[in-house]
Amino acid sequence: MASEKATKKSTASTTRRTLHYYWQVTRRHFGLFSLLMVSTFLFVALLSYGNPYVMSLIVDKVSAGPVSSDEVFSTFGPFIIALIAINVFGQAASKLQDFAMYKLQIAASYDLATMSFDALCNQSMSFHSNRFGGTLVSQTTKFMSAYQLLLETVTFPFLPVVCSVVFTCAILAPRVPVYVAILMVLLAVYAGISYYMYKRILHLNEKAASAQNHLSGELSDSVANILAVKTYGREAYERSLFDAANKDVVARDSRRMWASLTRGIITACITVVIMSVVTVFIAGGNAWYGITPGTLVMMFTYTYTVTNQFNFINNGLQRFNRAFGDASGMTATLDEPRLVADLPDASDLHVREGRIDFENIGFWYTDGAVRTRVFDGLDLHIPAGQRVGLVGASGAGKTTLTKLLLRLSDIQEGRILLDGQDISLCTQQSLRRSIAYVPQESLLFHRSVAENIAYGRPDASMEEIREAARRANALEFIEKLPQGFDTVTGERGVKLSGGQRQRIAIARAMLADCPILVLDEATSALDSESEKMVQDALAKLMRGRTSIVVAHRLSTVASLDRIVVLDDGGIAEDGSHAELIEAGEAYARLWNRQTGAYLE
């Protein structure tokens, strides 16, 4: 019980936060929103209430006595003109409503997509490492669709309901106050029960949306890794995971369906009671209260209209439930604190020399309740232009150190300086534009080869792109591709081999021409001949630049100015290749092990 109450409380909080984000967007287009509300008000007032009102006047006129044929237009002419005018302006209001609705949805969708994209792009790598990419895409799509659904629900069922109650009271209360009082009590009961059941069902919709997001994530994960699935013959296993997620969706949707049906049955019973009351009043209204035929017509028409509108409330609340449930995932993401964020007064970083200082670095990461410390009081000073290799056992923190330099994660203790500037006080974009980064797994977009190479310098000329490709030993294979530099690489570069992808990534780093270079196993995917050629190109690229090279193969770093061995949260050894070999410690043992393996 306590858990269920906590879940409902959390759902209510998420709903408020969703409305907060939606109102932020709506407020930017308040003119369109106001036009939508006013046009809806006029549409309901004229077509749903203006027409029956004029008709009631005609009925009363007819009931008063016969009208001769030559007096029809003189007697009913004003009513005819009024009906025509009401329908003309009512239809105009309807089209104005359509225009405002479309324009607002288009404008708001753009803003919501931008809001979601910015939130995802500005989150830390830790955030993305713990989430399915497919789930985040699904959440973004549902977040945008939920706004459109909410806007349509407010415009069509709910605003007309409010208008109907107001107009019914304003027109009928002076004529049949007892009837209006009874009707309002019944409608209040209807609305109260609907809202109570709406709150009970809301958390079911959030759970259903969460299950669907998980299903999208499972599908995305399997498709993205389809090669592993097929090569290991794990289709049945992946099918079982997908089937379990799919069954969870069915179970949660079924609970939501039965709850909605129950609410619909209860509210339908109240509608029957309301129509029974109006039938009694219409049957005996003239005899008991002297109500005119025209007023009886209005009573029936208006009551039928307002109860129909209230019937739509049930459907509208169901749509509200679905919308808030669909939006909950992205709302939680938007509420997620940014683990790596620029300070409000962050300045741009200006790197001229490329000196790097890691001072008393303390860093740990948490996975659930488990905290794993990676660095404890690490100090590392790299002079400008020095080429430094980082080696050590897996998990020693080599790649982590480069990611801290790039602020893909933030340190908990100490500081990192570039040319004496604390990177935590600078903007992340200016920092990363000063560092060319080539990771172990090449990162290619589903775009042309030329666009991928020029990603760090989009204003580069085609000649500069070709030259970067040549220096990275990539020009020859690129020119053999079907469309050369215009060839689309496929998602994550799937159309290219591992070595080809890596050489394009290296060409990108070459073209970026940054003062600091970070290579994280950058040549690991190359064959021996290509590796030698690329290493020669990288040697030229590193000349005069501060370079950090992460490598498991020690032959990759043996020729560098300095080698740092990381172990147990700190620096175990630090020196040139020759110095470390002479010392005969951890680096020498690793070197002997690797070269011994080569000799065997």
Tokens of 552: 């498991």
pLDDT per residue rounded down to tens, the chain (600 residues):
444 455 555 666 888 999 999 999 999 999 999 999 999 999 988 888 888 888 888 887 877 777 777 777 788 888 889 999 999 999 999 999 999 999 999 999 999 999 998 888 888 767 777 776 777 888 899 999 999 999 999 998 888 888 888 888 888 888 888 888 888 888 888 888 877 776 777 677 777 877 877 887 787 778 767 767 776 677 888 888 888 888 888 888 888 788 777 777 877 787 788 778 777 877 777 777 777 888 888 888 888 888 877 777 767 777 887 888 889 889 988 998 877 888 889 999 999 899 999 999 999 887 666 778 889 899 999 999 999 999 988 888 898 899 899 998 889 999 999 999 999 999 998 998 899 888 877 778 888 999 999 988 888 999 999 999 988 888 988 999 889 999 988 776 778 877 788 888 888 888 888 899 998 887 665 666 667 766 777 777 788 889 999 988 888 888 899 999 998 878 999 999 999 999 989 899 888 887 764 433
- Give the pLDDT confidence score for residue 492 in this predicted structure: 65
Q: Which of 470, 472, 452, 454 is nearest to 462 (CA)?
A: 454
For residue 172, give every residue at least 6 positions away whose Cβ sits within 8 Å of its Cβ, in sequence order, or none. 179, 180, 295, 298, 299, 302
Q: Is residue 373 left, alpha or beta, with left meaning phi > 0 and alpha meaning psi from -120 to 50?
A: beta
- Element of type H or E holding 571: strand 570-575
Question: Is it true that 2-335 and 356-599 share their CATH fold?
Answer: no
- Give the pLDDT confidence score for residue 596 in this predicted structure: 61
**Number of Cβ within a 10 Å radius of residue 56:** 22
- Give the pLDDT confidence score for residue 417 in this predicted structure: 96
- Give the pLDDT confidence score for residue 227 in this predicted structure: 65
Cα–Cα distance for residue pair 62/286, rounded to 1 Å: 16
Q: Does domain 356-599 have CATH number 3.40.50.300?
A: yes
**Number of Cβ within a 10 Å radius of residue 567:** 15
Q: What are the C-alpha distances in Å from 307 to residues 208, 262, 403?
A: 30, 19, 62
At 122, phi and psi to the nearest 5? -90, 5
**Number of Cβ within a 10 Å radius of residue 248:** 17
Q: What stretches of 331-468 adopt beta strand conformation (E)?
A: 356-367, 370-382, 387-391, 413-418, 421-422, 435-438
Cα–Cα distance for residue pair 302/291, rounded to 1 Å: 15
3-state DSSP assignment of residue 296: helix
For residue 430, give every residue at least 6 positions away whose Cβ sits within 8 Å of its Cβ, in sequence order, or none. 348, 349, 350
Say which CATH topology domain 2-335 has.
ABC transporter transmembrane region fold (1.20.1560)
Cα–Cα distance for residue pair 155/99, rounded to 1 Å: 13
Q: Domain extents for the chain?
A: 2-335, 356-599
- Give the pLDDT confidence score for residue 597 in this predicted structure: 41
Sheet containing strand 356-367, strands side by side: 370-382, 356-367, 413-418, 421-422
For residues 259-269, b (16+ Cβ closer than 10 Å) or e, as one string?
A: bbeebbeebee
Cα–Cα distance for residue pair 350/247, rounded to 1 Å: 54
Let me know if 544 is exposed, middle or buried by CB neighbors in 10 A (0-12, 13-18, 19+). exposed
- Give the pLDDT confidence score for residue 546 in this predicted structure: 94
- Give the pLDDT confidence score for residue 28 in this predicted structure: 96
